[in-house]
């Protein structure tokens, strides 16, 4: 019998399904709240000793709680993963949290990505938006569709300047598709388990946490190939790949290394057993 740590600040449906899977297989789930990490250097050994044999990271706790906290929690998870098997590897979660790094790695693995510009110059950003005709500006460390704005000419220079002032850099991307949704593909190990089409409710942002609704979606060979390559590029063991398409092709927006399974579960697929098997194989 193994003690399986499930790292998450709250017990959501993803944690519940993983816990059920752990119990079904005769193991014991142990919840670990990363917001409770603490370390007294010099008084204890540097790596955290939790009562677990291996762990699944569901959620590290958002950057809205403070950037230093995120960095500290990652360091603790790194230490944990040097002692016991942990999925996803903390370093791959860090790669996926950074949209610039992810996009450039995807490209180097031959995965198609939308035309993207990173700049610290407002004029260059405006030129890009005018060339694209329609573009989004996203935070590099964004998540759940937060902080994404859409720009079309004539560009509001003041707004762009204030975002640049706040972030220090602009991450711009050509707007792809009709604004009627994207596809989240779920990969575990070398397998694509399924996909969900996410249709926005009142705008063009298709995160479920922004009110979009999940619908069944059949994956074809091209989607499987692109998703598996995206997974390899960022070094995750399992994850959700956000894909958008138009008449010119299929493009990967980002890879989620701590994905919720809510959408996938709502279309009848529970990936928990396969995620757990992947971890048990590492043990």
By CB under 6 A, is residue 205 in contact with ligand ADP? yes
Edge to edge, the sheet with strand 135-138 lists 116-119, 170-174, 135-138, 149-151
Show the site string, 110-129: x = touches ligand ADP by CB under 6 A, - = not.
----x---------------
Give how far Cα 152 sits from Cα of 38, 113, 129, Å.
Answer: 46, 20, 7
For 81, 155, 251, the CA distances from 241, given in Å and listed in that order, are: 24, 30, 10
User: Is residue 103 at the binding interface for ligand ADP, with CB under 6 A as the rule?
Assistant: no
Q: 14 vs 207, which CB is nearer to ligand ADP?
A: 207
Q: Which stretch binds ligand ADP (CB under 6 A): 17-25, 32-40, 105-113, 145-153?
A: 145-153
Distances (CA, A) of 1 to 15, 23, 48, 267, 277: 19, 10, 21, 31, 14
Minimum distance, C-beta of residue 100 to ligand ADP, in the bound complex (Å): 12
* Main-chain dihedrals φ then ψ at residue 258, nearest 5 degrees: -130, 65
Single out the residue of 53, 59, 237, 242 in contact with Mg ion (rule: CB under 5 A).
Answer: 242
Give the DSSP H or E segment for 50: none
Beta carbon nearer to ligand ADP, 8 or 260 = 260
Q: For residues 131 and 6, what is the distance between their CA atoms, to the nearest angstrom?
A: 46
Residue 274 binds what, of Mg ion, ligand ADP, none (CB under 5 to 8 Å, by partner type)? none
CB nearest Mg ion: which residue?
A: 242
d(CA 241, CA 224): 11
Q: Are 175 and 131 in contact (CB under 8 A)?
A: no
Q: Least distance from C-beta 259 to Mg ion, angstroms?
A: 9
Q: Using CB distances below 5 to 8 A depending on partner kind, what does residue 144 bind out of ligand ADP, Mg ion, none?
A: ligand ADP
Q: Draw the binding track, 254-283, toward ligand ADP (x: CB under 6 A; -: no contact).
A: x-----------------------------
């Amino acid at each position: 019998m193994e003690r399986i740590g499930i790292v998450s600040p709250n017990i959501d449906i993803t944690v519940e399904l993983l816990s059920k899977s752990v119990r079904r297989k005769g193991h014991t789930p142990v919840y670990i709240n990363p917001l409770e990490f603490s370390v007294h250097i010099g008084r204890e050994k540097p790596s955290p000793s939790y009562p677990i044999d291996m762990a699944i990271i569901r959620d590290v706790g958002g950057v809205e709680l403070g950037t230093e906290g995120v960095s500290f929690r990652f360091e603790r998870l790194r230490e944990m993963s040097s002692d016991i098997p942990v999925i996803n590897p903390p370093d791959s979660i860090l790669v996926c949290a950074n949209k610039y790094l992810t996009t450039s790695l995807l490209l180097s693995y031959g995965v198609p990505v939308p035309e993207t510009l990173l700049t610290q110059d407002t004029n260059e950003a405006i030129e890009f938006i005018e060339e694209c005709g329609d573009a989004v500006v996203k935070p590099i460390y964004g998540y759940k569709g937060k902080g994404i704005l859409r720009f079309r000419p004539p560009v509001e220079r003041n707004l762009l300047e204030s975002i640049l002032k706040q972030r220090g850099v602009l991450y711009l991307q050509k707007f792809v598709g009709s604004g009627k949704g994207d596809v989240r593909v779920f990969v575990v190990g070398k397998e694509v388990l399924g996909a969900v089409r996410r249709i926005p409710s009142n705008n063009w942002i298709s995160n479920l946490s922004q009110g979009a609704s999940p619908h069944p979606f059949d994956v074809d060979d091209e989607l499987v190939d692109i998703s598996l390559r995206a997974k390899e590029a960022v070094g995750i063991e399992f994850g959700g790949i956000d894909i958008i398409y138009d008449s010119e092709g299929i493009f990967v927006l980002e890879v989620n290394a701590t994905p919720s399974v809510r959408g996938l579960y709502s279309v009848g697929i529970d990936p928990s057993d396969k995620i757990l098997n992947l971890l048990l194989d590492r043990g």
